[in-house]
Structure 1
Amino acid sequence: MFAGIILLLSIGVHESPRFLASKGKKEEAAATMSKIRNLPEDHPYVQTEMLDIFEQVEREKEATLGLGWIGPLKELFMTPSNRCRIMLGLMSQLLAQWSGANSITIYAPTFFAMLGTTGQSEKLFATAIFGVVKLVASLVCALFLVDMLGRKRALTYGIILQFLSMLYVAIYLAVVPEITEHFKPMGNAKRAGTAAIVAIYISGVGWALGWNSIQYLINAEIFPLRVRALGSSMVMCFHFANQYGNSKAVPSMLLETAMKPQGTFFFFAAVTLLGLVWMWFFLPETAGKSLEAMDEMFNLPWYVIGRKGAALTAGAGHAENYMRDDVDKVIQREVSHEEQVTSSEK
């Protein structure tokens, strides 16, 4: 069903202006950019952004001329800025997949049973609610919150929610004895178990706001056009390899002879906390950055990119001075200027 919806919605999607420019269709690229920005083709915002794109495409063609298929591979691993990009892509997938969110989704009935949910229908109902929570949260976060908050802030809030939820569940499982036929939690223990179930739902919201959105956005935004296909493909292969490995590892981690349920959730909490530290040091803010500005940012020293890269490259590129939120202001300034010219002529 979802594949069919995506197919129908993709019918009216424009080709990327950058792709059209790379194929030599400059007029069509400018027309597409005009439609995307809802501005005339001769508007300064459209013209400066297209100038950035044309210059970048020409530089890419000159840099890869005569290199063949081996060129992108060498550039991806031999260029320091691209090595930093591939590290960010791979690490974001590693930390996201081992933060526990997908494990909870796959083994949700088992986890809800650990927290006091009895009966097969009750466990399936709790799992269904969890799925609905994640779906709604994912749509709201992807369509609104991630762009409104920015990549790093959204990931920070999401990781904090996920960390606190995982930590609470881990503490609950460590304190309350295992639920069996001879022991069922009552009183405060039962209420704490209900809170732990709510914490699972909250972790789904945190996942939707944080890693679930950001791991894919980062992969799509950081690579330059000439190595994007190769870099993104490698990152997504790593994504599914970790997803498979995690799904196979969790049942063994839950065993009493291994990490036990509480140890597994402490592990998930530790990974989310590690992800928060990694994000603060290494992950740059990419919201609103053109690929041209992204190139300047990744040419900075690797230890500066995450903490100061966005600030140091603010305004990079011709079109960076015309951010989307400033388009109305630009139009107002032009209208005011025309009115002043008209009044002076009178």
Structure 2
Amino acid sequence: MSSITSKQTAEEKELQSVAKTVTAYEFSELEKLARAQQEVEHGLSKWEAIKTYPKAFFWICAGIFIAILVGYESQAGGIVLSIPRFREDFGNAYQGGYVLPADWQSAITGGATGALVVGSFFGSFTTDKWGRKWVIMFALLLSIPSVILEFVATTIEVFFAGKFINAFCLGILLTVVTAYIAEISPLALRGVAIASINLALCVGPFLCYIITYKTQNKVGRMAYRSMMIPQFIIAGISIVWCLFLPESPYYLLTKDKTEKTLKSLNKIYKGSDLVEAQYALMKVTIQEAQLANGEGSSLQELFYKRNFKRTLAGVCSFLIQPLSGVAFISGYSTYYYQLAGFTDDRSFQLSCGAQGLSIFGTITSWFTLDFFGRRSLMIIGTTCMAVLNLLVACLGLNINNIPAVTASCAFMAMYNFFYNASIGPGAYVVSGEVPTNNLRSKTIATGSFLNNGIQCMWSFVLPYMFNPDQANMGSKVLFIFGGLSALYLLVFFFYLPETAGRSFEEIDEMFNDKIPIRKFKGHKCRVQIEAAQVFNEVKGEINHIERV
């Protein structure tokens, strides 16, 4: 016990010493230290960054684990409607079976999406006031009673109330966790770390499918209540982790809390020298951004001329998701499997396989995001979405042609892979990198708002377009998504910058200097040149001392 106390005392003294050092620095000295650290960050590979920053990697994984809760509940809301016992308990008798009234079906899917949107905006405003950690904790704590409501519900009204509150919590988590991971990630890991948010959103549904497959035939209410139990487990583990989660040092620095910033950095990075270097890097980035863009963090700031291009890039990266047909592919793939002659069990297994492809696609993005770059990958991914939509649309025109419909099922499965290898994770990476520090959470919230708003619109409109007793468009619906994806290529060509391998400071500089969007990739920043010069000077001094 005494050894632990003495170790804590030693760490406190070391941090106090670092605090005195960094507060005594002139800005030019901080700038020199920041430039040297930035050059080091540029030279690290992903694996080297994990070895150099093991604690940062651990906290990134903790954030990703929390995001699994969002993916799980998002899928559970739709799957629960397909469980016969749920329809029996909450629906009405109809032609020898049970059916849930259409208005409640719409409320459970559309209402939850609306709550997610509200939660996203609530999270973006409160996180600037209370900090990332405590807003995440608030959402996790509130999610527990909301899941309890869903679990114990014996009326559809109570079930909907639990679902609505839970979706509100998930909206908060999705926005704040994404911003948090972007802010604590070292440069070499930032793209992979933010892209892994999408992995969590794929793992959640995959778990949901497996659990439902194993429990849907249980006797009694546990047929659907069983799928809610993992939410308690994930939320409980996340709450325990959140107790120890370091606050975002970027947030603390914007509040001028130097000592708390250093304590947070000490939890994320190892060693006083590294803490000092990371402090300098963040301090200089924030100060230069404030000088160029002001200190405002209001929603209106997003649309001011100096920030509008950044807002457009961040938001547009989210908009391609609902416009590329993901709502149709995810919602109607089972119908196509049945048309191809697959049994219900086989269709369900194919759905699990599609989720497996989604996970594999996201893992692939860890490498392609840096290899191709953000801009190129989003353009390639959108092209693939356009082609796959058109292929599925054409092959599904004649539902009596079983081989053609079977081929369309294969292309639907391929869609899951290509979507999650490109525009799925790409949206979170771009929106996490492009905005200024003050506007990051609000940019993510705005993109999420428009994304979910359009998804909500499709959830109401698609049945009328697709169903045989309505417009009966069938696979022709995908011609619309194919066309929208093709048009969106122009949006990305003119408005999406390349930010792969760029520090936040470099991104700020290029936007402030009004570098054309298409020239971001090859542009050599002043910050880069200065960083290389400072690093060489420091290296030369060290070599000189060693020779002496």
- Output the TM-score relative to the length of structure 1: 0.74
Alignment match, 2:542: 338
Offset from partner CA, 1:277-322 (integer Å, 9 cap, x none): 32122101123333333333334559x22x113433x435479847
In 2, the alpha carbon distance for the partners of 1:35 and 1:259 equals: 58
Alignment match, 2:427: 215
Shift of 1:105: 1.2
**Number of residue pairs matched by the alignment:** 313
Name the CA shift for 1:62/1:202 in 2 (closer, same or farther; >3 Å).
closer
Letter in 1 for 2:522: A
Pick from 316, 322, 337 the counterpart of residue 112 of structure 1.
337
Shift of 1:18: 1.6
Pick from 499, 515, 525 the counterpart of residue 315 of structure 1.
525
1:245 aligns with 2:478: no
In 2, the alpha carbon distance for the partners of 1:217 and 1:126 equals: 29
Question: After the TM superposition, which residues 122-141 of structure 1 pair with which residues of structure 2 at under 5 Å, given as runs?
Answer: 122-138=346-362, 140-141=363-364
Alignment match, 1:173: 396
Letter in 1 for 2:487: L
The answer to whether the 8 Å contact 2:395/2:405 transfers is yes
Shift of 1:109: 1.0
Shift of 1:127: 1.8
User: Greater share of helix residues, 1 or 2?
Assistant: 2
Alignment match, 2:301: 75
The answer to whether the 8 Å contact 2:309/2:495 transfers is no
Offset from partner CA, 1:58-96 (integer Å, 9 cap, x none): 6389644xxxxxx7244322x213222332333333321
Shift of 1:57: 6.7
Name the CA shift for 1:75/1:47 in 2 (closer, same or farther; >3 Å).
closer
The answer to whether the 8 Å contact 2:265/2:275 transfers is no
The answer to whether the 8 Å contact 1:151/1:287 transfers is yes
Between 52-61 and 161-170, report the one with greater CA deviation: 52-61
Alignment match, 1:68: none
Identical columns (%): 21
Letter in 2 for 1:222: V
1:15 aligns with 2:247: yes
The answer to whether the 8 Å contact 2:368/2:377 transfers is yes
In 1, the alpha carbon distance for the partners of 2:240 and 2:366 equals: 18
Alignment match, 1:67: none
Alignment match, 2:504: 291
Letter in 2 for 1:83: F
Shift of 1:13: 4.1
Shift of 1:148: 4.7
Shift of 1:155: 2.0
Offset from partner CA, 1:195-234 (integer Å, 9 cap, x none): 3222111111111012211222222222223333433322
Indicate the SS of the match to 2:330: helix
The answer to whether the 8 Å contact 1:166/1:269 transfers is yes
Between 87-96 and 204-213, report the one with greater CA deviation: 87-96
Letter in 2 for 1:218: V
Pick from 347, 361, 373 the counterpart of residue 150 of structure 1.
373
Letter in 2 for 1:282: Y
Alignment match, 2:437: 225
Name the CA shift for 1:213/1:62 in 2 (closer, same or farther; >3 Å).
closer
Question: After the TM superposition, which residues 255-334 of structure 1 pair with which residues of structure 2 at under 5 Å, given as runs?
Answer: 255=467, 258=471, 260-299=473-512, 304-305=516-517, 307-312=518-523, 314-317=524-527, 321=531
Alignment RMSD (CA, Å) = 3.6
Letter in 2 for 1:238: L
Letter in 2 for 1:308: K
Name the CA shift for 1:42/1:132 in 2 (closer, same or farther; >3 Å).
closer
Structure 1 stretches lacking a partner, 5+ long:
65-70, 323-329
In 2, the alpha carbon distance for the partners of 1:259 and 1:85 equals: 41
Indicate the SS of the match to 2:298: helix
Letter in 1 for 2:489: L
Name the CA shift for 1:10/1:159 in 2 (closer, same or farther; >3 Å).
farther
Letter in 2 for 1:125: Q
In 2, the alpha carbon distance for the partners of 1:22 and 1:287 equals: 25
Name the CA shift for 1:287/1:36 in 2 (closer, same or farther; >3 Å).
farther
1:160 aligns with 2:370: no
Alignment match, 1:26: 258
Letter in 2 for 1:241: G
Shift of 1:21: 1.2
Name the CA shift for 1:317/1:9 in 2 (closer, same or farther; >3 Å).
farther
Structure 2 stretches lacking a partner, 5+ long:
1-65, 70-233
In 2, the alpha carbon distance for the partners of 1:244 and 1:250 equals: 10
In 1, the alpha carbon distance for the partners of 2:277 and 2:407 equals: 51
Offset from partner CA, 1:149-177 (integer Å, 9 cap, x none): 43123323333333332222122123xx2
The answer to whether the 8 Å contact 1:117/1:123 transfers is no
The answer to whether the 8 Å contact 1:21/1:53 transfers is no
Offset from partner CA, 1:36-75 (integer Å, 9 cap, x none): 56575369964652452352376389644xxxxxx72443
Indicate the SS of the match to 1:107: helix
- Output the TM-score relative to the length of structure 2: 0.49
Name the CA shift for 1:40/1:109 in 2 (closer, same or farther; >3 Å).
same
Shift of 1:262: 3.4
In 1, the alpha carbon distance for the partners of 2:447 and 2:454 equals: 11
Shift of 1:110: 1.5
